[in-house]
Amino acid sequence: MLPFIKETETAWDRLKNTKKPVVLYGMGNGADKILDWCEANGVKVAAIFASDDFVRGQIFRGYKICKYADVVSQYQDFLLVIAFASESPVVLEHFFALAHKHETLAPHLPLFDGDEVVSFSWLAKYQQELMEVYINLADEKSREVLAATLNYKLSGKLSYLEAITTMRQEDCQQIFRFDKEETFVDLGAYDGDTIKEFLNYTNSSYREIVALEPDSKNFKKLQRFVEEAGLEHVSLLNKGIWSDEGTLSFAASGGRQSALQSDGKVEVPVDSVDHIMQGRQVSYMKLDVEGAEFEALSGAAETIGKWAPKLFVAAYHRDDDLWRLPILLWHLNKNYDIYLRKHPYVPAWELNFLAVSQNDTQGQ
C-alpha cells in the first residue's frame, strides 16, 4: 500500500459498522445516492435534517425533514453524513464546525456513473502511477494535497479537506507569472467567470482570448459578458473541446455541470486546441471541461509540446485523472513543474493541477 495512506476503513464500511444513529444533512442528488446505498446495504437512516431556512415541513424520500436542533435533542450522539455539495464560505465553515462537534462523513461519490472511484483495490491497482505522480509533483504542498485527497476519498473525513484548502487566486498568482502579452485559451468558459479572473491577473492587458463553451444557454451569458465588458481580441466558440474535430452527445444543464456524455440529449460540435490555434502561441490555458480534460489535453499535444503554456487543469471530475493527467502532461512536455491545489469546496471538488514550464518559474 502507498506509504501516505493512513486510513484503514472506508466511509461506506464505517456506515455499515457504526452503532450510532445515522443522520443525513441535506437533500437532492447526493442524498438520493447515499439513501439508495444505505437501503441496498441494510444501513438504517434515522433522520434527515436541512438548514433551518429549508425545512418548512418538507418530505424527502418518506422522511420528514427536521432541524439540526431537533436531531441533537433526540439523539445526542450520532453519525452525521453530509449529503450535498457546497463552495459557500459560510456553508463550508458550518460543515467544518459540525465535524468538530460530531463524527461526520461526506462520502465520496463518482460524478459520472460507471467511473472507478478511490478504494483500497483502486489504490492497489494504480499504486505505481500514483507513486510516480506523488514523487514528481513540484512541491511538498502538492504531495500533501494528493495524500490528503486520497485519504479523504477513502474515509469521507472532512479534516483532510479542511487541512489542505487554499485560495485559488492566491495560488495562481504565486505559481504563475502573468504579463501583458498573454494569449489565453479558456476551455469551459461558462459565463465568462474565468475570463474575468484572467483580466484581474493581467490588469486587463492581453494579446488574445479564445474561449469555448458548448452549452447554448451558457454561451449566451458568455457573449453578453464579453459585450458588456467591451472586450476586444476575443474569439468565442460555441463548441466543446475534445481530442479532435467532430460531433458528440452533450447533456446541457444551462449551468456549470453541462458535460459531454454518451447519453446526452443534444449533439454539439467539438474541436481540438491544436486545430483551433493552428500553431499560434498559447501562453495560458484553463481546462475545466466536466470530465473531458484528458481528451482536451491530448488534442493540445502540439501546442503544449511547442509553447509549454501555463496550465490550470481541473482534476476532480474523474478519480483516474489524479494520475492520468500529470503523467500525460509530462509525456507531452517533460519540462513541466506540476502543482496540485485544493480550492474551497466540499466534497473534494475544485481540485486543480497548475503546471508551469521549468523555464518560466518564479523560483517557488
pLDDT reading at 264 higher than 70: no
- Per-residue confidence (pLDDT) for residue 260, from 0 to 100: 55
Q: Is the peptide bond before 344 cis (omega within 30 degrees of 0)?
A: no
Q: Where are the beta strands (DSSP E) in the chain?
A: 22-25, 45-49, 59-60, 63-64, 79-82, 103-105, 183-187, 208-212, 234-237, 240-241, 246-251, 259-260, 266-271, 284-287, 310-314, 336-342, 351-357
pLDDT category of residue 364 using cuts at 50, 70 and 90: very low
- Per-residue confidence (pLDDT) for residue 362, from 0 to 100: 43
CA distance 95 to 162: 10
- Per-residue confidence (pLDDT) for residue 254, from 0 to 100: 57
pLDDT category of residue 360 using cuts at 50, 70 and 90: confident
**Residue-by-residue DSSP string for 92-105:** HHHHHHHHHHSEEE
Predicted model pTM: 0.94
- Residue-averaged pLDDT of the chain: 94
- Per-residue confidence (pLDDT) for residue 363, from 0 to 100: 40
pLDDT, tens only, 11-43: 999 999 999 999 999 998 999 999 999 999 999
